[in-house]
A = this chain, B = another copy of it.
Amino acid sequence: MNPLSTQAIAAGWDQDRVARLRAFLVGEHLDALIVPRWDNQHFEYVPPTNERLAYLTGFSGSWGLAVLTRKELLLFVDGRYQEQAHNQPNAAALSIHHLFENPPERWLAGAAKSGWRIGFDAEILSPDFYDRLESTCSQTGAVLVPLHRDPFHDSWTDRPEPPSGLAVVVTSQWAGQSFDSKCDHVAARIRDLGASHLLDVVPDNVAWLLNLRGSDLEYCPVVLGRLFIDTHGRVDLFADADQMAPAMSTLSHRVTLHEPRAFSKVLEERAQEARVLVLDGARSPQSARNIMEESGVRVVRRSNPITELKAIKNSAELVAMADAALRDSGVWVELLHWLEDRIGESDPRVTELEVEKQLERLRRRLPDYVHPSFRTISAADANAAYAHYAAPPDGGRTIGRKSVFLLDAGGQFRQGGTTDTTRTWCFTEPEHQVRRDATLALKGHIALARQVFPDGTLGHSLDALARMAAWDHYRDYDHGTGHGVGHFLSVHEFPQRLQKAATEAPLRKGMVITIEPGLYRDQEYGIRHEILYEIVAAEVPGWLAFRPLAFVPFNRLLIDLSLLNDAEMRWIDDYHGNVREQLATLELEANVWHWLVAHTQPLAMR
């Protein structure tokens, strides 16, 4: 295990950590302390040095929040992580709650007494979350106390060092747009919004705007930094000077670099000249909002203009993303060929972890491959019914001839791509129910993927198209249908989403998004079919369509033809025709190519 990994930090949990934090609590005259998993960059990923939640609670999941009081340690996690939290070794030392069904503010409403002092890091709590807590406190008479130093600073002795990777400047040609031009666009958007400034602390936005990449996070190639920008496109950047050194000659005509800890001080200065600040209420520091409002600056919460601009890829980005997805598809075909070969041996013993490692080996042959874009989900049979399963160090389940095997994996490619693909595979004819579930999920995928729709349609309008076929059989899946993907950036990019919950951002030409319906049977198996798509102009102006970027065959053994109509069969045959045509350019080995040809025959011929 990587000594700096979240898992390692969580595994090292002991009661002393809690005792030391509680001493801090007492020393600061606090009654409770809020410790979220996210850090002051308000992002899905955090560097090991900021894995405060894992350190304090032993919980290694990707989202959650703790409340430490003088008597209790509460852990709030969502539905995905209830089982994991209850099964972790120190579960008895925790009081585990549901993050949405019994959120911290509701718990506080019952537990916090009048006069309670509740400490929080004002660079980590967002204005939206702060307001929810504040509203509870105003009812109970408790007080929220912003902290002036990191509560973990003194007590976390073996704390990992902060990341120190150097910023990598990408060219305008690679990015498809110069840093100057991006800043001008953002400045124009700030003006259009009637604002004077924009705050953005989210790492992939900062990387996109500044045309920088880095190596500060495990799955997302960014260099950490936060920024503040005005209507002239002048930028205050809060980041480590050593890390930013390689970039400053390119940036310095617009960018003033500040130490990260100068954040509040510089914002206080800027507040003197600011009039209206725009920020994302859910992904910004409460401290910034507070500083601005105390100086009479109006703070407008809305979706971040940089998030919106970044989501619409330019042609350089789209070409590179398509290229990476195609080359990654070649790796997938090699892997599936290898896997079928291994399973065909007389005594097949392939573990989930072995598949993950083989995929990594194959991907390493692509010269621009950097690392996975998320922890690979290599899951056989019952393991695939868990959301976000990760094969354990002992290898996990063995994949056998009768297994239903799900692989969800993506990579980061330096030439300019982030990928994300899922296939479900069988090696002999599966049970009827497996085949039916897989075909229903595939019908859902097709229904959405083939649909043309009006420009600007909202993602929540399209989500159900991928569920109808499953609904007809009283089945559904408990996750979104698709998420945005970045250009050598985050694999979960905002704002584009296909999901049940309301989405604010209209779908536009140039966005890149996954379609990934699934069906799951607890204790049995999981099915998911995921392809990365570019949103393109349809034949008629004002209409959009999905164009696949990844080309990996679907497993014929999992398709029940009796459930498909002609249009669906045609879609599968067309897609498989495209798989062959696209992958023909990759010069795969002859045996891999023959395997591919066999797996992409028209359905009627198989």
Contacts and interface: CB of A to CB of B under 8 A. Distances in A.
Interface stretch (A78-86, A462-470, A550-558): A462-470
B463 A500 contact: no
Contacts of A539: 474
A98 interface: no
A462 B458 CA distance: 13
A443 B290 CA distance: 54
A591 interface: no
Given A276-B139, A460-B460, A464-B465, A474 B538 contact: yes
A168 to B, nearest CB: 39
Nearest to A298: B138
A298 B109 CA distance: 15
A500 B453 contact: no
A7 B465 CA distance: 43
A436 to B, nearest CB: 16
Contact of A468 (B276, B451, B463, B500): B451
Interface string A248-263: 0000000000000000
Nearest to A458: B500
A501 B503 CA distance: 9
Contacts of A472: 451-452
Contact of A139 (B194, B471, B500): B194
Interface string A495-510: 0000011111000000
Contacts of A276: 139
A164 interface: no
Given A194-B109, A464-B462, A464-B464, A474 B457 contact: no
A564 to B, nearest CB: 13
A461 interface: yes
Interface in A435-458: 451-454, 457-458
Contacts of A461: 460-461, 463-464, 500
A543 interface: yes
A565 interface: yes
Contacts of A109: 194
A471 B454 contact: yes
Nearest to A454: B476
A523 interface: no
A540 interface: yes
Interface in A542-581: 543, 565
Contacts of A315: none
Given A471-B453, A474-B543, A538-B474, A460 B502 contact: yes
Contact of A565 (B194, B538, B565): B565
A135 interface: yes
Interface in A134-169: 135, 138-139
A105 to B, nearest CB: 11
A525 to B, nearest CB: 21
A149 to B, nearest CB: 32
A139 to B, nearest CB: 7
Contacts of A474: 452, 538-540, 543
A347 B468 CA distance: 49
B502 A458 contact: yes
A62 B539 CA distance: 38
B471 A135 contact: no
Nearest to A463: B461
Contacts of A451: 468, 471-472
A135 B276 CA distance: 11
Nearest to A464: B461
A483 B276 CA distance: 39
Interface string A339-376: 00000000000000000000000000000000000000
Nearest to A300: B135
Contacts of A139: 194, 276, 298
A463 B138 CA distance: 40
A543 B194 CA distance: 46
Contacts of A464: 453, 457, 461-462, 464-465
Contacts of A460: 458, 460-461, 502
Contacts of A543: 471, 474
A130 B539 CA distance: 44
A501 B457 CA distance: 10
A463 B464 CA distance: 9
A562 to B, nearest CB: 14
A256 B539 CA distance: 64
Contact of A500 (B194, B457, B565): B457
A411 to B, nearest CB: 32
Contact of A298 (B135, B501, B538): B135
A502 B506 CA distance: 12
A127 to B, nearest CB: 16
B465 A452 contact: no
Interface in A45-81: none
Most B-side CB within 10 Å, residue of A138, A465, A471, A539: A471
Given A461-B461, A565-B565, 11 more contacts: A138-B298, A139-B194, A451-B472, A453-B471, A454-B476, A458-B460, A461-B463, A464-B464, A474-B539, A474-B540, A502-B503
The 10 A-B residue pairs with the shortest CB-CB distance, nearest first, are A502-B502, A474-B540, A461-B464, A460-B460, A474-B543, A461-B500, A454-B476, A453-B471, A452-B471, A461-B463
27 contacts: A135-B298, A139-B276, A139-B298, A451-B471, A452-B471, A452-B474, A453-B464, A453-B471, A454-B471, A454-B476, A457-B464, A458-B460, A458-B501, A458-B502, A460-B460, A460-B461, A460-B502, A461-B461, A461-B463, A461-B500, A464-B464, A464-B465, A465-B468, A474-B539, A474-B543, A502-B502, A502-B504
